Structure formats: C-alpha cells, structure tokens
Copies of this chain bind each other. A is one copy, B any other.
Amino acid sequence: MGGSEARRPKAGRPPDRQAGRAVRQAALQLMREKGYAGVSIAAIAARAGVARQTLYNRWPTKADLVLDAVFEETGRNAPALPGGAPPEGQAGLEAFLLQVLGHLQQDGDPLRALIAAAQHDPVFRDALRARFVLPRERIVTDLLIRAQARGEIAAHRDPGLLSQLVHGIFWYRLLNGQELDAALAREIAAEIFGR
C-alpha cells in the first residue's frame, strides 16, 4: 500500500456539500443551547434538514459528531494565541491559560461531555487526544523548554511533567465542576515559575 491509490475515478452520487456544514452548525447551536446531554441526534438532523441516517453515514457516534462540530466549526483546533508568535515566559503562560479559560467558559460543557465520551471508546479517546489534548500540552511544554533555556526555570525540572501538572489541574477542576477563573491562571503561572 504505497502510493498506488492516487485518484479513484470518482463515481456515484457525491456527498451533499451543504449538509456537512449545516449539520455541524446545528450540532454546535443545539449544544450551546441545551448542553451535550440535552441534544439528540434526531434534533440535530431535524435542524440541519437532513435524514438521521445521514449523520450515522458520516459520523460513527454522537460524540464524534460533536467533536467535529466543536473543533471544525469554531476553528479552535489552532490553540495558538492569535498574535502569531508563541507565548513566552510566566506572562505568556498566564496569557495562554487565560485564553484556554475563555474557551472553557463558552464550550466547557461540550468539552466535558467529550472527555466523558472518550472514556467509553479508546479510538475516540485517541482522536480527542491527538486533535485537542496534545497540541495544547505541547504549547505549554515548548514554552517551558524555552523558559528553561533562558534560565527562568531550574535545569533539573521536567518541562513535560510541569505541562501535565498545569493541564491536569485544569481538567481536575473542570471535571469536578469547580470554577476556573483568572486568579487561578495567575496562581498557576506563579507557582510554575514562582519563588
């Protein structure tokens, strides 16, 4: 299976182009209106003006559909700060955490549902990890590596571990229904760089 699958001579009815966006937008809207548990596949299909089976043709489960909707339709797969340049130092970490915070304020509920869904499906869990978790973890790790190179962080500390500590507390508080506010972001950044 090298590169021989170059271009199958496309045949058959093509997928409805409109449908894709319509479904994702309907899913995202309903999600924000009623939360993950309050949305049914049937409702999404109805609002998108599409047969229910079409959703199952394209997405294996409700969780996959919502994952797609949240991350394709809101363009949040690129968690980098809009500025272009990656965040730097303690202030950069704090800024990044604040941005994640904003994301969670809007889509925390869907995200919690996705994390929950991932626990029942290893394949989906890996997809979520690849598309959402790892990119964010990487940003913080890289930030800490650069900070360490500048001597802002002791050489013996492990940036990968620190990054997971940071993301971990966000998950922990999110999944436990605790508040995630700006003060927390500041305290975390201070603790990591602090003293």
List the interface of chain A (C-beta within 8 A of B). Answer: 36-37, 112-113, 115-120, 122, 125-126, 129, 133, 154, 156-158, 161-162, 164-173, 175-177, 187-188, 191, 194-195
Contacts and interface: CB of A to CB of B under 8 A. Distances in A.
Q: How many copies does the complex hold?
A: 2
Contact of A168 (B37, B157, B170, B195): B170
Given A120-B37, A122-B177, A164 B157 contact: no
Contact of A157 (B125, B129, B161, B195): B195
Given A129-B177, A156-B194, 20 more contacts: A36-B120, A113-B119, A115-B119, A115-B175, A116-B116, A116-B117, A122-B177, A125-B177, A129-B176, A154-B195, A157-B195, A158-B191, A161-B191, A164-B169, A164-B173, A165-B188, A165-B191, A167-B168, A168-B173, A175-B175
